Structure 1
Amino acid sequence: MYRLLSVACGFWLLLVSSLALAAPPADVSQSPACRYCGMDRGKFNHSRMLVEYEDGSQTATCSLHCAAVELANTIDRTPVNIRVADFDTKELINVDSAVWVMGGSKSGVMTARAKWAFASREAAERFVKANGGVIGTFDEAIKAAYEDMYQDTKAIRERRMMKRLKQHGGAPPL
């Protein structure tokens, strides 16, 4: 009897913990798609960002690229908290306390030059050792995002045009 009860409790704990792990973070449940590009923030939970303003409103994005667009478009609003996902744990952390890695061999989200955030310098250094890149601050990462904006936006538009052309059998859409 005791063995059966132990197995049942173990199964129940496994089931409950797997359901908890499968549940998306609250910010992803509340805003599943990026405001600017429409990408699935759950799929890109390792790069997602959340900008919170002094009036209590929030904007959820898939990446630093889209967060940079948000911050440029809302220059007259004051952000009180900007958080980014830690690349490893997917937990949201403050952008200023994050250790950023720019570049490297891992493809970026919405950008040719990747920009990843880590909760610790050790994690960022491990990533750089495995994938390359340069460690920096949030100011350096967002500056890089603005510097890359023209080329990244041009590439995104070209990819979307090619997708539309394929959907219409090679002819430009009317």
Structure 2
Amino acid sequence: MKRRDLLKLSALSGLAAVSAQASANTACATDGTPNQFIPKKAADAKPLENEFEKYPKCPYCGMDRKEHHRARMLVQYADDLSDGVCSIHCLSLSLGVNIDREPKNIWGPDYGSTVEPRPLTPVDGMVYLIGADLKHAMTKRSKHSFASLSTAKEFQAKHGGSLGNFNDALRESYLDMASDVGMIRKNREERRKRAAEMKKG
């Protein structure tokens, strides 16, 4: 190849690189790993206020948080970005993909309360009943939070399971992730098939 042709090729390569860089600079700031996982809502210093209006749907599975108020959770990171999720299953996803974002506050529902919707309480002071025969969102093995140890023990006497703290429940959520994801995929596929059959009928 002649020297003149090499210079042309070099110049074209340089232009291509500049064009690619310009495209990258104009791309959305939340594109690409790990930016794609950043909570999409604006920073919120008071995420508990009007939480259902601000965080109506779980960003990881799309479930209605008010409908699943007995399992829902809310995490506020150190930069005040918050994730309102449907369950400890989806909370574990948020914490896992936002690995460089330090949680400032995490709230869970008091399952033992009779108030509707269940009030959210800081998880550090809660007791978790793990593996009881109680329905839970997004997991086969329930992990319900209680503000009162005595109430948690009452539920344990009726429904079984073991008592632990938030870190115990979070650890079990990660351990259950593979089987829970398989269950969720199967359930959603069955719902899609039923919906398709109803359309045909």
Normalised by the shorter chain, which TM-score bucket? 0.7 to 0.9
- What are the residue-to-residue correspondences of 1:73-152 with 2, within 5 Å? 73-89=97-113, 90-152=118-180
CA distance in 2, matches of 1:49, 1:166: 30
1:58 has 2:82 as partner: yes
Rg bigger for which structure? 2
Shift of 1:147: 0.2
In 1: Cα distance, 2:132 partner to 2:85 partner: 22
Q: How many residues are treated as equivalent by the alignment?
A: 146
CA distance in 2, matches of 1:88, 1:48: 14
| 1:10-35 CA-partner distances (Å, limit 9, x unpaired) | xxxxxxxxxxxxxxx72122211111
- Which amino acid in 2 is paired with 1:84? G
In structure 2, the residue matched to 1:22 is none
Q: Structure 2 CA distance, aligned partners of 1:107 and 1:59? A: 23
Unaligned runs of 5+ in 1: 1-24
Q: Name the SS for the 2:104 alignment partner.
A: strand
Question: Which amino acid counterpart does residue 69 of structure 1 have in structure 2?
Answer: L
Q: Distance in 2 between matches of 1:96 and 1:32?
A: 24
| Paired residue type of 1:52 | Q
- SS of equivalent residue, structure 1 residue 80: strand
For 1:162 and 1:42, locate their aligned partners in 2 and report how far apart those are by CA, in whole Å: 24
Work out which of the residue numbers 156, 165, 173 in structure 1 matches 2:184.
156
- 2:64 aligns with 40
* 8 Å contact from structure 1 (residues 46, 88) kept in 2: no
TM-score after normalising by structure 1:
0.80
CA shift digits 1:70-117 (9 cap, x unpaired):
111111111111111111231111111100000111122100000000
Query: Which residue of 60, 69, 75 corresponds with 2:93?
Result: 69
Q: Do 1:101 and 1:134's aligned partners in 2 also have CA atoms closer than 8 Å? A: yes
Cα distance in 1 between the residues matched to 2:186 and 2:70: 25
CA distance in 1 between counterparts of 2:79 and 2:137 reads: 29
User: Do the aligned partners of 1:46 and 1:86 also contact (CA within 8 Å) in 2?
Assistant: yes
RMSD: 1.4
